Each structure stands twice: as C-alpha cells, then as structure tokens.
Structure 1
C-alpha cells in the first residue's frame, strides 16, 4: 500500500500546572518508519483512558521530551514491515502490548513482561499511539479476531486486559464472592469478567450512573460509597466478607475499604495508581486473619491473547463497552469530558477512517 508522508497525532505540548492550562494539539507530523523487528501499523481505533488525563494534568510525569504523542489503547492493520520480521505481513489485523518491554530480561523471559525492568509505557514514558500510524515491536503483536470491530479490539489493550490480569492475580473462580471498588472503565470490565468466572459480585462507587450500569452488566449488588460504611455494608451483603476484592481507584481510603471488606483468608488486589501510602487494619488483625494484599500492574501478551480468544468464541461480549466514538480532532475536548465525567462514559474511542 502507498503510505502518506505525514499523519495526524494528538500531542501534549505542555502539561497542566497551577499557573496555566494544559496544551494538547492535533499536529501534522511525519509518518514513522519501522526499524529492525518492528512493523508500522495503520491505527484504526485508539481508546481514551484516565491515564491520558493523568499525563495531561501533570499527575503522572510525561516522557523525557515534549511534544509527546499520547494514547495507549490501539488496534489496527499492519501497513509496513521492517527488516527481521517474518511472521507478519501487510494487511494483518493486530493489537499489541503497550508497556514496550525489553523482551530479554528475566521477567520478560518468564512471561511477566509487565514487570520488565526497563519497560516504557506508550503515551506516558514515550510517544504513544493516538495517531494515524504507529510503530510496534513485532514480538508483542497479537492477532485480532476477523469480525471484531476495531473500536472494541482497541480497548482490550487496557480497559479490559488490565482488570483481567488483576482477576488472575487475585484468583477469581466459581462461587466466590467479589467486591469491585471503583466502577470506571476498568472496574466495569472487572464486573463483567468476574461474572464470566462465575463469581457473586458487589460493585462499589459514588456515581449513581455507574452503580446502575454495574447492575445492568451483571453485578448482584451495589454499594453507594457516598453513604459511608462501605466495608461494613459489603460484609453484610456477603455474610461476613468477600473472598476477593479489587480496588480500581488508587486512594488510601478505598484500599482500606477493599481490605476491610474481606472475610478471613481473603485477598485484596490493588490496581488503582496513586501517591498515598497504604494504611489499613492493625498488623495483628492482618496476620491473625491471614489477609492477603497484592498489587496488579498492566497485563501480559498472554492476557491479550486469552481475551481475544474469549471474544472470538462468544464468551465475552464487549458491544456495550464503547460509549463514544470520536474523530481525532475531538480528542482534547474528550479529555475534558472524561475529567468531568460528562455522560458517564465507559470508554471513549477515537476512530480513524
């Protein structure tokens, strides 16, 4: 296929500070060229995530240089193949791991590339993929089901894969009781996946729209965190506490809720990112009840493949996950909408024709 010389890309020129607003622009820049072991992907869809917002607002540091391309939830079609790539060809439908691991360290060799010692997250630490074209490491490509829409395929690479990895870390199975604290894009998919695993699910949030959506997506009960006493109410609903809890907010208070909602022998998995220190139950209680507290970061290539298999076999339905489809020129305004929770989106996705 004939490639253009330039492309549109959403780039951060200046993060928000106390003195001035952020500067996010849609720029016309050169199309990148794939190097050894890389492919060039024509991006067909790219999700908009709270992590984008964190970089733009200065909560998460941006990469070493500005302007920087944002975005880390892509799916598309291979448009060019670099030297040393034999297993992929132009026209293949793909998604890929967004953490950009090295592929050679001990963690990568063990299939835990999300813990790679030199990893760089696209759109955060280095240039992202909210653009018409992007370069990908061919080692971490995953093929897409032939009939899966690109917008749904794109959000799997974070909004679905991150909670999926967390549920695997937490160990969710049939007949377990599960609490999901925080019902944004990640938390909602945690509800969907926990129900798929056969669990009894309690959803927790402060937004009425999110609580209702959780019920619509299969949650058995919900708890309005704005009314207080969250852990106590979860324990009441689950007859003494849940087997597993998952925290998707990143606050010390919500981690505390996730721990205190557990029954003895339970496990809390923390996914939300934040700067606060964890403070929860006394050490003696933590020990005597054999409580487990684990972290979960990102996902692996195996997680992505498993999810696309679930979609392809009809077990996982993502048709309700994309609540807004936008053009790239709407990306800066979409970030403001996301910050204000305008319209209570699950995932907004930029689509490229």
Structure 2
C-alpha cells in the first residue's frame, strides 16, 4: 500500500525478497537471509511446477520493493540494477580508500561495475585484468585494461608493480581460483582488503604472513536493500554507465548463442545480454 503512488509508473523491482523474521534479518543482515526467494531462478521456492521468471513483457513483482526510474533511463539499462546493487555492496566490502588504486581481477559485468563504483567512491584509478577481448574493450572505457591472454605470470606481475609499487588499496577477485587469490595477495597493499566474489569448493593453502600489515580477505553476498536506491541514483546520474554493455537478442535466438558462449567463454561475443520475448 505504501507504494501505490508508483501505479502506472516506470519502475525497477528488487528481484529478491527476504523473510524478515530469521536471525539474519533481525540483525540487519538481510543479504544473508536463508529464506530469500528470487525472480528468475528456483532458490528458496521449494518444489513447484512454476518458478517466477522475467522473460516476458510484463511480470508480477513485490510492490514494496519497486523503485521509480528516471525517464532518461531505459528499461534495458534498469534491467541491470540487480548486478549494479551487488557491485555497490561488493565495493563497500572492499573498503575503497580515497586516493588509492583498485585492482579488479576479471572484468566481466561484476568487475566492470565494481570498478565504476570504486571510481565513484574515491579510488585514484582502477586496473582491470581479463583474457576476453570483449571484456577488455569494455574495461578500457572505465580504467586501465590489461589483456592477460598472451602474458606470462611474470609479465602481469611486472605490469602491476609498475602501476602500483606500494600495492593496491583494494583488490576484487571475480574469478576465485588459487591462482587469482595468489595474484591478489601479491599486489594487495598494506591495510588493504581483498574481496573474493566467487567462492569455490577448493582447498587453498597460503602463508598467513601475507596478511600482515593489516591486510584482510573477505567475501561478499548479495546486497542490502539500501544498496539498491544508491545504485539506481548513480545509474541515473551517469556515474554508472551500462548502455554499452548491452546486446539485444530474441528469446528464440538464445539457445544457439548460449551454446556458442559456453563452448569458449573467453571468446564469447557479448558482454551482457538483454533477452526480449518477441521481435524487436
């Protein structure tokens, strides 16, 4: 009822809903609610014949978590709000320190979005690493893009030391392997934070001395409801730019494209898909 003023308006809905009564919700950590349900996949819904999705022109959403979008923001741009809110929370976890550089390992939409948030919140520069030519092209519009596809580990290390001799204030690892963790820790500066966005079931060993001088490793999960309007405000103000991310594809053309992408993820032809239910 409190959002009745949004009837007939262009809105972006939060695509998840928490229970509000579990211990995490009561403690203000709604991002960790074990009873969260999502639009678009089956988490939290239990066994049922139908799972709410969004590959259609109109979908039901929770009215209490809808936000009006400015006229100059397209629905396609607003469709990226979920990942942008995640990026805001990830950046908060990374403790962006004004005036210090930031390293992003993996320059997909999450890495690119975190880089834009980092610049918005005071990072002196952002450096993005990736092996995909599509991701590198997008990264170059945000900061220093380094294509590692034909570089040795030593060449990558040398390039990063030249950029940040004292290390990076924040490192964001969107890949989450033992190799990328090692890379991140190697270039994490004193009192810096490394955020692992992709936690895998993989045993990893490292020397705890590498966490000396108040370095720390954290993870990130979902986003808080307050991150959503912040991300939307930055999208509307132009601090977050996603229009160039988007490639439109019809729903019926998705299966062969998906097969092509999964066959060679590093050479996928698109950065972020907008799937339309019918003809353009």
State the distance in 1 between where 2:235 and 2:226 align: 14
Q: TM-score, normalised by structure 2?
A: 0.83
Give 3-state SS (helix, strand or coil) of 1:204's partner: strand
Out of 254, 257, 260, which is 1:331 matched to?
Answer: 254
> How many residue pairs end up in the alignment?
264
Q: How does 1:68-217 map to 2 (within 5 A)?
A: 85-88=1-4, 90-122=7-39, 123-125=41-43, 126=45, 127-132=51-56, 133-158=58-83, 160-199=84-123, 200-215=125-140, 217=141
CA deviations 1:331-351 (Å, max 9, x no partner) are 323322432345542211113
Gaps of 5+ in 2: 46-50
Check conservation: 1:223, 1:234, Cα contact below 8 A.
no
Counterparts in 2 of 1:146 and 1:194: CA distance versus 1, 3 Å: same
Q: Which runs of 5+ in 1 are unaligned?
A: 1-84
Aligned mates of 2:272, 2:189 — CA distance in 1:
33
CA distance in structure 1 between the partners assigned to 2:89 and 2:171 by the alignment: 14
Which structure shows the bigger proportion of residues in helix conformation? 2
Shift of 1:191: 2.2
Report the 3-state secondary structure (helix = DSSP H, G, I; strand = E; otherwise coil) of the residue aligned with 1:179: strand
Q: Structure 2 CA distance, aligned partners of 1:317 and 1:204?
A: 19
1:257 aligns with one of 168, 173, 183: 183
Structure 1 residues 242 and 124, CA, compared in 2 at 3 Å: closer, same or farther? farther
Counterpart in the other structure of 1:314: 238
Call closer, same or farther: CA 1:161–1:334 in 2, change over 3 Å: farther
Rounded to whole Å, the distance in 1 between the matches of 2:160 and 2:93 is: 21
Q: 1:143 to 1:111 in 2, by over 3 A?
A: farther
Report the 3-state secondary structure (helix = DSSP H, G, I; strand = E; otherwise coil) of the residue aligned with 1:330.
helix
Give 1:128 deviation, angstroms.
4.4
| CA deviation profile, 1:249-279 (whole Å, cap 9, x unmatched) | 1322212222221012211011124222343
Higher strand share: 1
* Distance in 2 (alpha carbons) for counterparts of 1:134 and 1:271: 29
